[in-house]
Amino acid sequence: MKTNHQIIIILVILLGCSGNNHKSDAYGNFEATEITVSALGQGQVLEFDLDEGSLLKKGQRVGLIDTTDLHLKLQQLVESKAAVATRVPNINAQIKVQEQQKANMMVDKERIDKLYEDGAATKKQVDDINGALDLINVQINSLEVQRASVYLEMETIDKQVAQVREAIDKCTIINPIQGTVLVKFAEAGEVASIGRPLYKMADLENMKLKVYVSGDQLPHISLGQEVEVLIDEDRKTNRQMKGRVSWISESAEFTPKTIQTKEERVNLVYAVKVLVKNDGSLKIGMPGEINFMKQ
């Protein structure tokens, strides 16, 4: 009889130590930050080297959109700039001639001014030389304006060249973050337009378990706090992992409809996200539980 009592006590202890009847502090589902990568260029997709489930690095080249038209436009702009630039030496030569003529006129002006002071030149001669100098100054200014206009035209072409080069660069499909491809929306050979989704990806190495806590629990939770995360190992046991509180909602909300009982759905709760390092076993939408560790 005593032996039977001992067996019963041992069984009770084992059941108490197991996680089967333990009620966790909060429940929720795992999620990941998903982004949709869209085309930044327009044209036929020549290359698209990825598959669903592929692990991509940040900055990795994954595809190419046809840039033939853009390269032709770029070549045309470069040739246009070269043609415009040929006008600058001609204008510079004209300015140099006018400046030499002005220098010669200044010598004549000094001579005439001296003769006028001595009474050997007339007022008309003085006025004529001043008028000629004014005219040549106007001509020089006009040529300088033409040259500035040419430089401005060249700068405008440079901006157009930069825009085309930027458009060409955007035709190379670069992966923006490190993560795993979830869905592929396009294939090589299809035509892409600016803004068309190409693939969806997420960082599955760092998962977030979104749970809901009551107002009574909220004062005991803080950002950066370590928590115990539980996931299903099998139908009877849980596996423990470590997590860290990364976000706490500032406003209360009703318990989501996914909670089964109506009594729980009408309660006000606060959403909390726990960051968990994924060892490969965590999946998007997978259920999880947390227990808050004592500080």
Q: Return the SS3 of 104.
A: helix
pLDDT by residue for the chain (295 residues), tens only, comes to 444 444 343 333 334 444 444 578 899 999 998 999 999 999 999 999 999 999 999 999 999 999 999 999 999 999 999 999 999 999 999 999 999 999 999 999 999 999 999 888 899 999 999 999 999 999 999 999 999 999 999 999 999 999 999 999 999 999 999 999 999 999 999 999 999 999 999 999 999 999 999 888 888 899 999 999 999 888 788 899 999 999 999 888 876 655 545 555 557 889 999 999 999 899 999 999 999 876 5
Q: Return the SS3 of 63.
A: strand
Q: What is the pLDDT of residue 145?
A: 96
> Distance between CA atoms of 45 and 38, rounded to whole angstroms?
12
Q: What is the pLDDT of residue 265?
A: 53
Strand order in the sheet with 172-174: 172-174, 61-65, 43-48, 191-192
> Distance between CA atoms of 196 and 42, rounded to whole angstroms?
9
Q: What is the pLDDT of residue 146?
A: 96
CB of 39 closer than 8 Å to CB of 192: yes
Within 13 Å, how many C-alpha atoms sit on residue 248's CB side? 15
DSSP 8-class letter at 29: E
- Rounded (5°) CA angle 289-228-291: 60
Of the candidates 295, 288, 271, the residue with the CA atom closest to the CA atom of residue 215: 271
Q: What is the pLDDT of residue 223?
A: 93
Domain 24-34+203-292 class, CATH top level: mainly beta
Cα 116 versus chain centre, distance: 75
CB of 230 closer than 8 Å to CB of 220: no
CB of 38 closer than 8 Å to CB of 64: no
Q: Which tokens is 169 given?
A: 């660069």
Q: What is the pLDDT of residue 220?
A: 87
Q: How many residues does the chain have?
A: 295
Domain coordinates of the chain in residue numbers? Answer: 24-34+203-292, 36-66+171-202, 69-167
Q: What is the pLDDT of residue 21?
A: 46
- Characterize the bridge pairing of strands 43-48 and 191-192: antiparallel
Q: Does domain 36-66+171-202 have CATH number 2.40.50.100?
A: yes
**Residue found under tokens 């040549």:** 136
State the CATH architecture for 69-167.
Orthogonal Bundle (1.10)
